[in-house]
Chain A
Amino acid sequence: MANTNKYKFLLTVLLFISSTVAIAELELRISKTSDDGIPIYLANIPGGANGIIEADLKRSGRFTVVNRSKINNLPPYGSVLNGGAYSNIADYIVRGKPLNGGLEVELTSTSDNAKTIYKISSNSNSRRVAHQAADKIYEKITREKGAFDTRLAYVTVTNKTSDNRLFRLYVSDSDGHRPKAILTSRLPVMSPAWSPNAQQLAYVSFEENTSAIYVQNIFTGQKRKISARDGINGAPAWSPDGNRLAMSLSINGSPDIYVANVNNGRLTRVTTSSAIDTEPAWSGTNSIIFTSNRGGSPQLYRISAAGGTAQRLTFDGKYNSAADIANKKLAFVRGNRGAFNIAIRSVNNSGADTLSNGQLDESPTLSPNGAMVAYTTLKNGDNTLAVVSDNAKSRQFLTSPVGDVREPAWSPYLNQ
């Protein structure tokens, strides 16, 4: 079964054939968008790329897409556009056309009529072309790299409480489109983590009736076992250089943080407490932030990747855990008064903002530019994915028609 899916996935990648595996096609539902973001008008682009660009820009929480009816005399792309004529309606206007299977997109600033043209080359996944255009527009306006042309990994489970339960590990575009199952198992699959080159996933699988950490190439399906030691093999996290995996192991009693060299397997012990130490996240190449209950309740701590003394980072709330770090931002789970929510802060400053409002939110994962956080939340009794902007002004839900969707992991930037 796993082989079949691998094979299908390979076919899809190599031969550009749309896969028949579409069980977990996620449906995008926009819950709220920013109404005080940068006003931008998106003209229709034949083929519909403007719709993908619109959803991307909205998801960032930094833009307010101007209603199409506000402008009815816009010159078509190719004709001269005087941006100044629309400066009271939008700060920016986007026009474009398909070009050789790719896209040509023009961004006009209405304040000074400055125009920038982007040519996006074709891609086997046509939606990626639109995401790349959205990234260009986003970067030009915000001066921060766009992260729409990225991927999500996530886990689904069907028949959650029966012996027929089935876990699947999926990879999709960052907006939930084009999902592909890369692993199917009757036993739990959890904690997917992207390698920095966005080509491999580390994850925990109980497929051999005990926990083990595997690394799998998402394109070839090639998979190898990294750790299957006695006790817990959990919470893998790649170092920024891609040579090491931090993980939680209980070979010496209580769970501690270890770092394994991916190339030669050498293991370094980082923490030595008798408490639970788990959920490591790299903060730069030499520092790890992790969850520990050494103080009586789960809290975040920072320690050198070489070991030493850990420094406590969180003090508000009885439960702070599951750190994820990107672009100097730290997202984590904060439990307070029985509710679990997603919080965000600067890695180096205390004082966190709460980004979610569910009852049992978990598994936060930052987009590589730190502008958005995907997480798991309950909706109508099932786990589903949500994406919130770091300013909490935009929220989108990615729901599955079947079963539970959980544990999103946002990929790094893709190397084309």
Chain B
Amino acid sequence: MRKTTIRTTFTVLMSAIALTACSSQSVKETIGSGGDIKKPVVSSKTNNGATNGTLNPDGSSKVSTSEQNGSNFNYLPGSNNDPNNTQDITLAGLNDPNNLLSQRVIYFDYNRSSIRPEYMVLINTHSKLLAKYPNLKMRLEGHADERGSREYNVALSEARSQSVKNIMVAQGPRSDQLKTIGFGEEVPVVSGHSPSAWQKNRRVEIKYDDY
């Protein structure tokens, strides 16, 4: 429990670092739907060809897989129709920062529980891991940002974790391998009252028992 919390915190931290560290690579200034705040959109591509997910302050996000050599993650579940090809979807992958499975956070839009398309690959990959290891158990912990009332946010965050679960169970794992929980706005990863802080807190964290 403690371990996975640290790990997900680390993932978010890495995303934040990627945001600032990559600002020289491909930064565009855009005006979001809010209209009042400048939001740099960053796409991250690390030099060693690692798989990386980034979170943009405007709420959009990217799960990208580099084509460069050096990546030890070469399986693209979203583009592979062979359900038996799960060779890279292993428990070892959970602790490999170069494996997509090491990414455990899914972000959401304000007051929404629908899954952004860019997270489908990530969700499917975790789902296939669950299907491959029937004894593996997962908790999907939903969270909301601080805006709006607290119990409504509990319901919203539960709906977010249910959205993830619904996609996952369609891929094969037994539904009793997945447990959902809504923490509402009670457990933020970052303090602060800005759009970027809110975005980081609107999330579902994937947590594996014992991993």
A interface vs B, CB < 8 Å? 157, 160-161, 163, 165, 167, 188, 190-191, 204, 206, 209-211, 231-232, 234-235, 248, 250, 254-255, 276, 278-279, 291, 293, 297-298, 319, 321-322, 333, 335, 340, 359-360, 362-363, 378, 381, 406-407
B155/A255 in contact, CB under 8 A: yes
Q: Is B189's CB within 8 Å of the partner chain A?
A: yes
A333 with B148: in contact, given A161-B188, A210-B181, A381-B191 (CB under 8 Å)?
Answer: yes
B27 smallest CB distance to A (angstroms): 26
Closest-by-CB residue of A relative to B154 is A234
Contacts A333-B149, A340-B148; A278 near B155 (Cβ below 8 A): yes
Contact yes or no, A190 B184, CB < 8 A: yes
Bound Cα distance from A232 to B183, whole angstroms: 9
In the complex, whether B180 has a CB less than 8 A from a CB of chain A is yes
B183 touches A191 (CB 8 A): no
| Complex-state Cα separation, A233 to B130, whole angstroms | 27
Q: Which residue of B lies closest to A160 (CB)?
A: B191
Contact (Cβ within 8 A) B186 A190: yes
Asked if A163 meets B147 with Cβ closer than 8 Å, knowing A276-B152, A276-B159, the reply is no
> What is the bound-complex CA distance between A27 and B147, given in angstroms?
26
Q: Please indicate the chain B residues that have their CB under 8 angstroms from the CB of A293 in the complex.
A: 152
Binding site for A on B (CB under 8 A): 1-2, 5-6, 111, 146-152, 154-156, 158-159, 180-184, 186-193
Residue of B nearest to A364 (CB): B149
Q: A211-B181, A359-B193 are in contact. Are A234 and B155 (CB under 8 A)?
A: yes
Complex alpha-carbon distance, A165 and B5, angstroms: 13
**How far, in whole Å, are A360 and B147 apart by their CA atoms in the complex?**
7
A211 touches B193 (CB 8 A): no
A155 to B61 Cα, complex, angstroms = 34
Q: In the complex, which of the residues B6, B148, B183, B188 contacts A163, with contact meaning CB atoms closer than 8 Å?
A: B6
Docked-complex contact A335 and B148, CB < 8 angstroms: yes
CA distance A29 to B16 in the complex (A): 38
B146:A360 contact, CB within 8 angstroms: yes
20 more contacts with CB within 8 A, not counting A163-B2, A163-B5, are: A157-B186, A161-B191, A167-B186, A191-B151, A209-B181, A211-B154, A231-B180, A232-B154, A232-B158, A234-B154, A248-B155, A276-B155, A276-B156, A276-B159, A278-B151, A321-B149, A340-B147, A362-B148, A362-B150, A381-B192
Chain B's nearest CB lies how many Å from the CB of A78? 52
Is B151's CB under 8 angstroms from A279's CB? yes
Chain A residues with CB under 8 A of B186: 157, 167, 188, 190, 206
Q: What is the minimal beta-carbon distance from B147 to any residue of chain A, in angstroms?
A: 6
- In Å, the complex CA distance between A363 and B153 comes to 12
Whether A211 contacts B182 by the Cβ 8 Å rule is yes
Q: How far is the CB of B129 from chain A (nearest CB, A)?
A: 22
The closest CB in chain B to the CB of A236 belongs to B151
Going nearest first, the 6 A-B pairs with the smallest beta carbon separation are: A188-B186, A322-B149, A235-B151, A276-B155, A321-B149, A255-B155
Minimum C-beta distance from B53 to chain A (A):
21
Report chain B residues within 8 Å CB of A167. Answer: 186
List chain A residues, Cβ under 8 A from B111.
297
B104 to chain A, nearest CB (A): 16
Residues of chain B with a CB closer than 8 A to A298's CB: 148-149, 152
Q: How far is the CA of A250 from the CA of B154 in the complex (A)?
A: 11
Distance A206 CA – B146 CA, assembled complex (angstroms): 18
Q: How far is the CA of A248 from the CA of B182 in the complex (A)?
A: 13
Smallest Cβ-Cβ distance to B181: which chain A residue: A210
Which residue of chain B has its CB nearest to the CB of A231? B158
Residue pair B184, A188 in contact (C-beta under 8 Å)? yes
The smallest C-beta distance from B40 to any residue of chain A, in angstroms, reads: 21
Q: How far is the CB of A366 from chain B (nearest CB, A)?
A: 15
